[in-house]
């Protein structure tokens, strides 16, 4: 069943798929970070966050309850491009298509895991 | 093949900021401007080492590599051709602009422009540092080193080793992978990291002759609230004591002292950390003058 990109259903589906993706979980293992992403022109959530908690990974629509380590701003089209694997999150951050502030060391330490998220999303039926 | 990193050229809107940052913080000398659109900075008696060209956004324009002499330059051209890598002779205008006698222009991986040159202009006993420092370590080791992002590390390795003749120094694998290359006793004149779809300049390293020059620059950055990207530290591979400061053009300047040299008996090593101590990343924004590479 298709899920709308950046909706609650998408967040739950991505959380479940990522948790079963061995390569992603290996890349994320032991990492602790909260990413908060603000998405301009989003037809669904305009803020969502990803939480790496050592041995687990969660995506939720809306802002995190605690402080985020990294805040990112991007537009919906860029986020779709990343989700489809046509642009990596690292590349978006490094070229300014996604404006990132915060703990850059944490962001870079999760670069490989973040880049694998697009492969995780390949297994989902997402409506953009 | 190439003997040293001769010069670096970037595009940036921040020429005015460089006029203060270059001499007052880094100790470079600003050349008298020949036109409003280029700022040239010196580190020694060479005509210039860093050129900031006025541009709307920060980006790496070119890297200049000293071939040493015309015969070697000709050999470089032939090697590029033989390896199926693009290369052409620079025009008189291009040579005049860079103040070199001759030049071969080659497009490297990701479209990064490389200028292999011979006869860079030297003006003996004319370098005047922008602030009191012991001096920059240049000479046969060139202006320093650059760290680049390339879209494909394997393709880049072939270009820099087979095309320019650089030799691998070592590798560091952490959350990013870095490969280091040398062409003279400096441990590395070039390092590469792979970011798919991206090319550009992460940082330029300038080496000074005294650790106090590093400490004084660090103090100046703190006093002027110039963003430090990485704290003082010592790298595992070249053992340089350095810190990283964000330049007005987005890429970082590594300002360091005390690196080891490589010799004929050098053995390639691998490391799992970038530094023995320090170099804590405290930047709040990503470094670099990067751009997307069209797929």
State the Cα–Cα distance between residues B33 and B48, nearest whole angstrom: 12
Q: Do B291 and A107 touch (CB under 8 A)?
A: no
Question: Closest chain A residue to B177 measured between Cα atoms?
Answer: A112
Task: Say yes or no: do domains B4-118 and B139-290 share a fold.
Answer: yes
Host H or E run for residue A36: strand A31-40
ipTM of the complex: 0.87
Q: From chain B, pick out residues whose CB is under 8 angstroms from the CB of A91.
A: 195-198, 292
Q: From chain A, pick out residues whose CB is under 8 angstroms from the CB of B281.
A: 104-105, 108
Confidence of residue B196 (pLDDT cuts 50, 70, 90): confident
Do residues B143 and B45 touch, judged by C-beta distance below 8 A? no
* Environment class of B79 (CB within 10 Å of its CB; exposed 0-12, middle 13-18, buried 19+): middle
Q: From chain B, pick out residues whose CB is under 8 angstroms from the CB of A108.
A: 175-176, 281, 286
Q: Do A94 and B281 touch (CB under 8 A)?
A: no
State the Cα–Cα distance between residues B169 and B160, nearest whole angstrom: 13
The minimum CA-CA distance between A94 and chain B, rounded to whole Å, is: 6
pLDDT for position A100: 95
Q: Measure the CA dihedral B205/B210/B214/B220, to 10°.
A: -120
pLDDT at A43 over 90: yes
> Which of B197, B280, B291 is opposite residue A87, by nearest beta carbon?
B197
**Could you tell me if A85 lies within 8 Å of chain B, comparing CB atoms?**
no
Q: Do B281 and A105 touch (CB under 8 A)?
A: yes
The region that residue A96 occupies, defined by phi over 0 for left and psi between -120 and 50 for alpha, beta otherwise, is: left
- Tell me the average pLDDT across B119-136: 97
Do residues B63 and B146 touch, judged by C-beta distance below 8 A? yes
Domain borders along chain B are 4-118, 139-290
Least confident of B84-88, B141-145, B226-230: B84-88
Mutate to test the interface with B, among A91, A107, A113 (most CBs of B within 10 A): A91
pLDDT at B12 over 90: yes
Mutate to test the interface with A, among B175, B201, B252, B272 (most CBs of A within 10 A): B175
Report, at the CATH architecture level, how domain A3-121 is classified: 2-Layer Sandwich (3.30)
CATH number of the domain at B139-290, please? Answer: 3.10.180.10
**Concatenated DSSP letters of B153-189:** HHHHHHIIIIIT--EEEEEEESSSEEEEEESSSBS-S
State the Cα–Cα distance between residues B250 and B248, nearest whole angstrom: 6
Mutate to test the interface with B, among A96, A98, A101 (most CBs of B within 10 A): A96
Residue B60 CB: number of other CB atoms within 10 A? Answer: 26
Q: What rounded mean pLDDT belongs to chain B? A: 95
> Smallest Cα–Cα separation from A116: which of A94, A78, A90, A97?
A90
Confidence of residue B19 (pLDDT cuts 50, 70, 90): very high
CA A50 to chain centre: 6
Q: From chain B, pick out residues whose CB is under 8 angstroms from the CB of A84.
A: none
Q: First-to-last CA distance in chain B?
A: 31
At the fourth CATH level, which superfamily is domain B4-118?
2,3-Dihydroxybiphenyl 1,2-Dioxygenase, domain 1 (3.10.180.10)
> Smallest Cα–Cα separation from B108: which of B201, B11, B172?
B201
**Concatenated DSSP letters of B220-261:** HHHHTTPPEEEEEEEESSS--EEEEEE-TTSSEEEEEE---B
pLDDT in tens, A66-125: 999 999 999 999 999 999 998 888 899 999 999 999 999 999 889 889 889 989 998 899
What b/e readout covers B163-177, taking b as 16+ CB neighbours within 10 angstroms?
Answer: bbbbeebbbbeebbe
- What backbone phi and psi angles, to 5 degrees, belong to B194? -95, 125
- What backbone phi and psi angles, to 5 degrees, belong to A65? -75, -35
pLDDT for position B3: 97
State the Cα–Cα distance between residues B43 and B206, nearest whole angstrom: 9
pLDDT in tens, B44-86: 999 999 999 999 999 999 999 999 999 999 999 999 988 888 7
State the Cα–Cα distance between residues B256 and B214, nearest whole angstrom: 6
Strand partners, B89: B104
**Could you tell me if B284 lies within 8 Å of chain A, comparing CB atoms?**
yes
Q: Do A104 and B281 touch (CB under 8 A)?
A: yes
Q: Helix (H, G, I), strand (E, B), or coil: what is residue B284?
A: coil
Residue with tokens 């908060």: A36
pLDDT for position B215: 98
* DSSP code, position B213: H
> Smallest Cα–Cα separation from B162: which of B219, B50, B248, B83?
B83
* DSSP code, position B293: P
pLDDT at B294 over 80: no
């Amino acid at each position: 069943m298709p899920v709308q990109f950046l909706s609650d259903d998408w967040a739950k589906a991505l959380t479940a798929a990522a948790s079963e993706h061995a390569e992603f979980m290996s890349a994320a293992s032991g990492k602790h970070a909260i990413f908060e992403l603000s998405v301009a022109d989003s037809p669904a959530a305009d803020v969502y966050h990803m939480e790496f908690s050592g041995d687990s990974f969660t995506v939720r629509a809306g802002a995190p309850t605690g402080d985020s380590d990294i805040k990112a701003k991007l537009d919906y089209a860029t986020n779709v491009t990343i989700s489809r694997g046509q642009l990596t999150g690292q590349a978006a951050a490094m070229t300014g298509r996604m404006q990132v502030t915060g703990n850059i060391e944490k962001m870079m330490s999760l670069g490989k895991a973040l880049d694998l998220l697009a492969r995780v999303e390949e297994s989902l039926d997402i409506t953009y | 093949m190439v003997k040293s990193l001769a010069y670096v050229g970037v595009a940036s809107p921040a020429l005015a900021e460089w006029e203060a940052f270059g001499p007052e913080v880094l100790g470079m000398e600003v050349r008298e401007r020949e036109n409003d659109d280029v700022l040239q900075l010196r580190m020694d008696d060479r005509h210039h080492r860093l050129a900031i060209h006025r541009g709307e956004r920060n980006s790496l324009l070119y890297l200049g590599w000293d071939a040493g002499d015309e015969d070697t330059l000709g050999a470089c051209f032939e090697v590029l051709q033989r390896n199926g890598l693009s290369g052409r002779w620079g025009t008189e205008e291009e040579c005049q602009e860079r103040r070199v006698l001759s030049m071969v222009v080659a497009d490297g991986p990701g479209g990064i422009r490389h200028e292999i040159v011979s006869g860079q202009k030297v003006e003996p006993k004319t370098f005047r540092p922008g602030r009191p420092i012991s001096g920059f370590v240049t000479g046969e080791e060139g202006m320093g080193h650059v760290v680049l992002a390339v879209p494909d590390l394997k393709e880049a390795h072939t270009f820099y080793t087979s095309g320019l003749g650089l030799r691998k120094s070592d590798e560091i694998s952490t959350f990013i992978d870095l490969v280091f290359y040398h062409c003279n006793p400096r441990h590395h004149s070039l390092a590469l990291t792979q970011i798919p779809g991206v090319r550009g300049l992460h940082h330029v390293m300038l080496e000074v002759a005294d650790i106090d020059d590093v400490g004084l620059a660090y103090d100046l950055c703190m006093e002027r609230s110039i963003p430090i990207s990485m704290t003082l530290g010592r790298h595992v591979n070249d053992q340089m004591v350095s810190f990283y400061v964000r330049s007005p053009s987005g890429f970082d300047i590594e300002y360091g002292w005390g690196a080891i040299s490589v010799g004929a008996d050098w053995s390639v090593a691998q490391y799992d950390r970038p530094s023995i101590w320090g170099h804590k990343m405290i930047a709040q924004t990503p470094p670099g003058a990067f751009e997307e590479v069209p797929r």
